[in-house]
Structure 1
Amino acid sequence: MSQTNDYPLSAVPQSARKGFWSTAFVLLGFTFFTSTMWAGGTLGTSFSFGELLWIILIGNLLLGSYAAGLAYVAYKTGLNSVLLGRYCFGEQGSKLADFVLGFTQIGWYAWGTATIAIILVKLLELPEAYTTPLMIVFGFGFCITAFIGYQALALLSKISVPAMLAFIGISIYQGSIDIGGLAQLSNISPTDSMPFAAAITMVFGTFVSGGTQATNWSRFAKSGRIAVVTTLLAFFIGNGLMVFVGAFGAMIYQQADIVDVLVAQGFILIAVLMLFANIWTTQDNTIYNFAAAGCNLLRTDKRRTITVVGAAIGTVLAVFGMYNMLIPFLILLGTFIPPIGAIIMADFWFKHRSNPPSLDKIKLPAFDACGLSAYAVGSAAAYFSPWIAPLVGIVVSASVYALLLYIRSAQPVAKPSAS
């Protein structure tokens, strides 16, 4: 299989592994996303500045730790989450993870496609009739780098990530001047309210789907240290920065999206550049994730074909209004996705002792009752929990899976009856 196809159904060989900066730029480009800022904007109007910093710290530490744990498993095996799902859910049962993860990624793709078209129409004062055609153009245009593969994702991110950091720095500097110093943020009173647990769930949920599928790139890491550190950098610091930027804009300008903030600050050209860099670097990663899930679901290595099909589905969803469903979507992600990653990690450490056999050298059941049962229990616990749903889902699903593995191993093996 050629390297350009990025090994959709097999482990990444050592010859194709990447270094620290290549991995870091791809992951940071993935987490620099407008929707995370929107979530931060909701938090910025609901909490004091001190409370907000604690929410960002706790939520992104949980998210970063979860994603980093999966990153190490991906590095060690060379496999992504959908392929790792075969070990704990079974050959056919793993299609559950394919569907859940693929659906969420196509949802993000639809949201991003709608976002850039709507914002661009407003920003450039174009006729409303341009919105749908722009969604179609961007829906297929943003999948080009994903279609090419990892090398194109890395190249785009190496250009876009430093540029976005510079744009954010300019905006925060101007914002601090406009408010009379960053210390004045502590004097701003919240205008809305939200339970603390729901806020943590929102921060975790902003990118828990991405964190679960970031294994698509951490599996390319040359070492465990590179996989873990770059993932923490992206999901703790990078995602945390996006939440903070959204909250910062909402508190000062009543605008969560940094593009709108930059416009309010008078930086029109920078706003347009930020819009494209921000959306594109996540859109291509998102549709790449969908293609990975689709390849495992259909057991095909035609990643590029699945990429284009996914872009078409995402574009249709964008045209039909996915844009208006962000917040409920985030809560849903934070509830039903973390148990998948938790069970994958529990399987890696408890069942295989960090050394699973190659997929082509092991006979797996069609459906693994332990993994599927643990997922059902963990998801139910998260859904009905009054506390931090993602954390509850992770702890319960991993614990139940480990318990079921112990019970299964303790059962005596039936001996064949004598003839």
Structure 2
Amino acid sequence: MSDLASTRASQPSDVDPDYPLQIVPAHARKGVLSLGVVLLGFTFFTPTMLAGASIAPAFSFGQFLTIALLGSIVLGVYVSALGAVGARSGLTTVVMARYAFGEKGAKLVSLLLGGTQIGWYGVTVATLALLTQQVTGLDGPLWRWILILGGGAVMGLTAYFGYRGMELLSAVSVPLLLVLAGWVTWRSLTEIGGLGGLGEVTGTGELTVAAAVTAIVGTFASGGTQAPNWTRFARTPTQGFSSAAIAFIVGELLMIFFGGIGALAFGIGDFVEVLFALNLIGWGLVFLVANLWTTNDNTAYNFGVAGAELFNANTKKPFVIGGVVIGTLLALPIYDNLIGYLSWLGILIPAIGGVLIGDHVANWRRGMPEPLAYRFPAVRWENVAVYAVATLAAWISSRQGILIPPVVAIVLAVVGAYAVGRRLTPDLGQPVAAA
């Protein structure tokens, strides 16, 4: 088993420069600032603010802040742990799944993660089209589909060009979003009478704490599980952990907070509509496009690398194109059933990341062999069983309304994968030359 430091310096000439199937070499690694900007562009997401806007009215302001912090920490710790694993391994989430689930078992992971990200791409494209119609007055189904098809095509371009395209877009949009969101927060505080006015909010009590935290974690159950797709470019595991923590604790908390403040001050559960209420229609549209674009290019990148693993291809680009087409065509059907879609994401996805973390700590923390030079077992049934049990427990938790389903899935999967990895003697594969 070779360490990351011994990764082959040379790569085949036809390899995608984003290394969808290989360990990222040392010369292609990035710093915390670069990674943090890209990941912040991912987490600065209008639906996250919508989640904040839907949660805040149910609680007092102090309770809302506590819940926002708790949900962001739960999500952030989970994603940051995966971020560190991604940096140490140098591999995408779906390729790491080959080590944890086996060659064939990883295909299930690719289908789940790639498929759910295609769905998210469609949701985002539909959101862009519907809100653009509100701004421009371009009513009717024909204009809606023109906006959906045009938006889906344009937002796929930066993902097609890989990490560099996402880095450049995020570097422009993230500061813009921070300035604009901060300004609207100040206006919201003015509207409600400052912190004193917020302190008088009592809340409706229509949501439980567990349900609210689950909603926050669920906003990035799928996307956060694929954080290694970017943190694999980090130079050290600490940098991978830190960049993910910046995005998924700080970024998530800010988005939940911004959305919640707007809802409390204006009685509007949509941050973009708050901008419209302030007669900032032009800026609202700029915010909307930049915000959704920075997230959707990351989403397209995710299903691109998932497709590359699924079909064992050295390039993600055909799968970016295919996923963009499918997600765009399914935009409205998925958007119209969003609540059910999000509920299943929170049940099906988190255990995948938990298995990857537990298995990595048990078997691979000293280094991982180059995947293209390694023959994996077809299926590592012990980890498939751990995933199934953890997911079933999350489903029962959701049905019974006890505990927090994503947390149940993550904890059981991490503990279970570590336990079977240490106590059994699993078939971990062997070099191709020795097979």
Q: TM-score, normalised by structure 2?
A: 0.91
Larger mean Cα displacement after TM superposition, 122-131 or 401-410:
401-410
Tell me whether 1:382 sits opposite 2:394 in the alignment.
Answer: yes
Contact 1:4 1:149 in 2 (8 A): no
Which of residues 399, 407, 413 is equivalent to 2:415? 399
Q: Deviations over 1:25-63 (max 9, x none)?
A: 100000001111111111012222111111111111011
Contact 2:50 2:271 in 1 (8 A): no
Residue 3 of structure 1 and its aligned partner are, at CA, apart by: 7.1
SS at match of 1:193: coil
Instruction: Identify the residue that residue 143 of structure 1 maps to in structure 2.
Output: 156
1:190, 1:202 → 2: CA distance?
17
Residue 107 of structure 1 and its aligned partner are, at CA, apart by: 1.2
Larger mean Cα displacement after TM superposition, 133-142 or 244-253:
244-253
Which of residues 318, 330, 343 is equivalent to 1:317? 330
Residue 186 of structure 1 and its aligned partner are, at CA, apart by: 2.3
Instruction: Identify the residue that residue 312 of structure 2 maps to in structure 1.
Output: 299
Query: Runs of 4+ in structure 1 displaced over 4 angstroms?
Result: 1-4
One-letter amino acid of the counterpart of residue 388, structure 1: I
One-letter amino acid of the counterpart of residue 78, structure 1: G
Residue 91 of structure 1 and its aligned partner are, at CA, apart by: 0.1
Tell me whether 1:337 sits opposite 2:337 in the alignment.
Answer: no
One-letter amino acid of the counterpart of residue 360, structure 1: L
Q: Deviations over 1:219-277 (max 9, x none)?
A: 11122232111110100010111111121122222223321111111222211110011
State the Cα RMSD in Å: 1.7
Unaligned 5+ residue runs, structure 1? 412-419
One-letter amino acid of the counterpart of residue 391, structure 1: V
Contact 1:348 1:356 in 2 (8 A): no
Instruction: Identify the residue that residue 214 of structure 1 maps to in structure 2.
Output: 227
Contact 1:18 1:222 in 2 (8 A): yes
Note closer, same or farther for the CA distance 1:9–1:48 as it changes in structure 2 (3 Å cut). same
Residue 401 of structure 1 and its aligned partner are, at CA, apart by: 2.0
2:261, 2:344 → 1: CA distance?
25
Note closer, same or farther for the CA distance 1:240–1:329 as it changes in structure 2 (3 Å cut). farther
Tell me whether 1:290 sits opposite 2:303 in the alignment.
Answer: yes
Larger mean Cα displacement after TM superposition, 290-299 or 122-131:
122-131
Instruction: Identify the residue that residue 157 of structure 1 maps to in structure 2.
Output: 170
Residue 325 of structure 1 and its aligned partner are, at CA, apart by: 2.5
Larger mean Cα displacement after TM superposition, 208-217 or 85-94:
208-217
1:100, 1:189 → 2: CA distance?
40
2:35, 2:205 → 1: CA distance?
39
Instruction: Identify the residue that residue 9 of structure 2 maps to in structure 1.
Output: none
Contact 2:358 2:416 in 1 (8 A): no
Tell me whether 1:32 sits opposite 2:44 in the alignment.
Answer: yes
Contact 2:393 2:408 in 1 (8 A): yes
Note closer, same or farther for the CA distance 1:309–1:281 as it changes in structure 2 (3 Å cut). same
One-letter amino acid of the counterpart of residue 295, structure 1: A
Instruction: Identify the residue that residue 69 of structure 1 maps to in structure 2.
Output: 81
Contact 2:92 2:232 in 1 (8 A): yes
Q: Deviations over 1:277-331 (max 9, x none)?
A: 100000100011011111111111231111011000011111x432223333222
Contact 1:3 1:16 in 2 (8 A): no
Contact 2:101 2:379 in 1 (8 A): yes
For these two proteins, the number of residue pairs brought into alignment is 410
Note closer, same or farther for the CA distance 1:250–1:304 as it changes in structure 2 (3 Å cut). same
Contact 2:58 2:203 in 1 (8 A): yes
2:161, 2:192 → 1: CA distance?
44
SS at match of 1:321: helix
Q: TM-score, normalised by structure 1?
A: 0.94
Unaligned 5+ residue runs, structure 2? 1-12, 428-435
Contact 2:40 2:174 in 1 (8 A): yes
